Amino acid sequence: MNNLSKLSQYGIFLAFALICLVLALSTPKFFTVSNLLIIGNQVSINALLAFGVTFVIITGGIDLSLGSMVAVTGVVAATFAHPDTYPLVVPLLAGLAAGSAMGAFNGLVITKSKVPPFIVTLGTMTIGRGLALILSKGRPVSNLSDGFNFIGGGNIAGIPFPIIILFVAFAVCSVVLNKTVLGRYMYAVGGNEPAARASGIRVSRVKMWVYTICGLLSALGGILLTSRITTGQPNAGAGFELDAIAAAIIGGTSTSGGTGTMTGTLIGALLIGVISNSLDLLNVTSYYQQVVMGVIIIGAVVLDGVGKKD
């Protein structure tokens, strides 16, 4: 492994540590417990989406419909989350089922039609946004139960519940990717799809699973967001797919497939959250955040491409 390849793999960890060190020296508020909990809470939704799209990118795909799935699942969950209407499990299952169904639809169209994932998910992004507006009749779905609102706004022993969900999801996704047959198949499909197919791997089934899991994690993010803002917003999640894809790429997931880790994606999501938080603490206008993230994404992709060259 050459030096550039090592930098593309481990540079994100060094960059994250360096940025945290600089911020700790620049502002004493950064390393306070309250601020770290704020960062974790803010990062939780993007990280969940990023975990899902990491699976997809590892197999050589892409999913641009994440933000729309957040909106649809949030509206669906909110519809069943009114007080004294259904037990808490109903809106949760309804939202997760909606997200899984949308993810499975993406996988089905991609595997059966052979249309590039970019085109398919661009279409479902528009379809999903329309469905969210239809289901909500263009209005926010409000009056949610206290139990549902706790999911995104409550805490256990002082730790925000979204952070707990984040690390549980991280642990589960890491096990799936590193310790299961499905995870090994994901790397195989992304690394060399024809070879994976020739070795007996059912590539279409792997992709179906990957997009369904991505939809499930997007639904979980949609439920968290809806609970946090206490309404199901049909316009919620706009642009979320870009932040999630950015977190995965910044974390070392290769855009050409076959490479990626959940740890790297988590660090990528935290880096985005830390940069956003630091701009607020340093009273820097939020407009600069988009410029900074664009530069970081380009740098990550360049390192990824250069590191693969002999």
Predicted confidence (pLDDT) per residue in 65-88, tens digit: 999 999 999 999 999 999 988 999
Q: Read off the pLDDT of residues 208-261 as tens digits, 9 standing for 90 and up.
A: 999 999 999 999 999 999 999 999 999 999 989 999 999 999 888 988 899 999
Radius of gyration of the chain (CA): 19
Beta bridge partners of 155: 160
Task: Give the model's pLDDT for residue 9.
Answer: 57
Tokens of 118: 């970019």
Q: What are the residue ranges spanned by the domains of the chain?
A: 45-262
**Low-confidence spans in the chain with pLDDT less than 50:** 1, 4, 310
Distance of CA 61 to the CA centre of its chain: 14
Three-state SS string over the chain comes to: CCHHHHHHHHHHHHHHHHHHHHHHHHCCCCCCHHHHHHHHHHHHHHHHHHHHHHHHHHCCCCCCCHHHHHHHHHHHHHHCCCCCCCCCHHHHHHHHHHHHHHHHHHHHHHHHHCCCHHHHHHHHHHHHHHHHHHHHCCCCECCCCHHHHHHHHCEECCEEHHHHHHHHHHHHHHHHHHHCHHHHHHHHHHHCHHHHHHCCCCHHHHHHHHHHHHHHHHHHHHHHHHHHHCCECCCCCCCHHHHHHHHHHHCCCCCCCCCCCHHHHHHHHHHHHHHHHHHHHCCCCCHHHHHHHHHHHHHHHHHHHHHCCC
Compute the distance between CA of residue 72 and CA of residue 108 in angstroms, rounded to an integer. 19
Beta bridge partners of 156: 159
